[in-house]
Structure 1
Amino acid sequence: MSAPIGALLGRGAAGLPPAEPVDFTRLVLPPSPNTCLAAPPGGHAQAHITVPPLPVDAATAWPVLRRLGEGLPRTYPLAEWPERRQAQWVARSALMNYPDVIAAELVPGPGGAGLFLYSRSLFGWSDLGVNRRRVEAWLAAFEAALRRR
């Protein structure tokens, strides 16, 4: 069931359908170019960006990941599943207030945690590279936050 467009254009996380965790092992990316997926090496066949193993384990990186969206413009917490070490946020576009959903999950891996980071538009076909730029910026912010922890 999809919500009417007017309901999705609320403020913050309001108006969005209930959040569900992303199963990155079964995730199939849409044919539209308005998504970006970063994944650990070999973590997903459709990944746009490969994220090297983190220098810490998933338990150590989890509190840093949870704070990742804090202070970013028009970005709001959407949901968390601590048992999966997955968090989601909604980011609203400046001009039209359209919502994009960002999901991140830490997984155990050899030599450090693996990170999945997925940003997707809920509307439209093309995002003019917004989701890829967001994923790249969030990866850089996460790396910097891990160094400061």
Structure 2
Amino acid sequence: MSGLIAALFGRAGDRLPPPVPVEFGTLVLPGSPNTCLAAPPGAHRQAHLTTPPLPVDAATAWPLLRTLGDGFPRTTRIAEWPARRQVQWVQRSAVANFPDIIAAELASGPAGAGLFLYSRSLFGYSDFGVNRRRVEAWLAALDAALRRG
């Protein structure tokens, strides 16, 4: 119980378990409806949303992806693994300070970079669609950043 209390009263990434990279190739989503996974077509059988190939290669998209969370409230980058082009953030809810983890990774593909974007609640069973709306908003923000160049 003390871990839950510490995570709830922490700020940004404070008092959360240490971040580890998400293995998107073997990721098994929980049975609870408090996650959302967007993945390239055919890349993950449990994906909720499909991400079309980005109009640029992974190396070009990486700097934009790293800063994607900067434009969202109560969001802090907590880890990144440049060699695998993966980055993670924590976004805390406005009212109860609940931490949700967002992980994104770029994969090279023949038609442009593929994008995995995964948002999950650390606590609770249902999220009332928060993670899906977040993933949709982040995808739209990345698309806008790519259009700006």
TM-score w.r.t. length of structure 1: 0.97
Separation in structure 1 between the aligned mates of residue 110 and residue 39 of structure 2, nearest angstrom: 14
The match for 2:7 is: 8
The match for 2:54 is: 54
Separation in structure 2 between the aligned mates of residue 3 and residue 61 of structure 1, nearest angstrom: 39
Separation in structure 1 between the aligned mates of residue 148 and residue 71 of structure 2, nearest angstrom: 16
Give SS of 1:136's match.
Answer: helix
Residue 3 of structure 1 and its aligned partner are, at CA, apart by 6.7
* Counterpart mapping for 1:113-132 below 5 A: 113-132=113-132
Separation in structure 1 between the aligned mates of residue 37 and residue 20 of structure 2, nearest angstrom: 17
Give a deviation string over 1:45-87, Cα, whole Å, max 9, x none.
0000000001000000000000100031100111000000000
Residue 20 of structure 1 and its aligned partner are, at CA, apart by 0.2
Q: Are 1:3 and 1:16, in contact at CA under 8 Å, matched by a contact in 2? A: no
Separation in structure 2 between the aligned mates of residue 15 and residue 92 of structure 1, nearest angstrom: 13
Aligned length: 148
Separation in structure 2 between the aligned mates of residue 101 and residue 78 of structure 1, nearest angstrom: 9
Identify the structure with the greater helix proportion.
2
Q: Which amino acid aligns with 1:49?
A: L
Give SS of 1:60's match.
Answer: helix
Separation in structure 1 between the aligned mates of residue 79 and residue 35 of structure 2, nearest angstrom: 19
Q: Are 1:3 and 1:17, in contact at CA under 8 Å, matched by a contact in 2? A: no
* Counterpart mapping for 1:22-33 below 5 A: 22-33=22-33
The match for 2:83 is: 83
Separation in structure 2 between the aligned mates of residue 98 and residue 84 of structure 1, nearest angstrom: 28
Structure 1 unmatched runs, 5+ = none
Residue 16 of structure 1 and its aligned partner are, at CA, apart by 0.4
Q: Which amino acid aligns with 1:40?
A: P
> Between the two proteins, what is the percent identity of the paired residues?
72
RMSD (Å) for aligned C-alpha atoms = 1.1
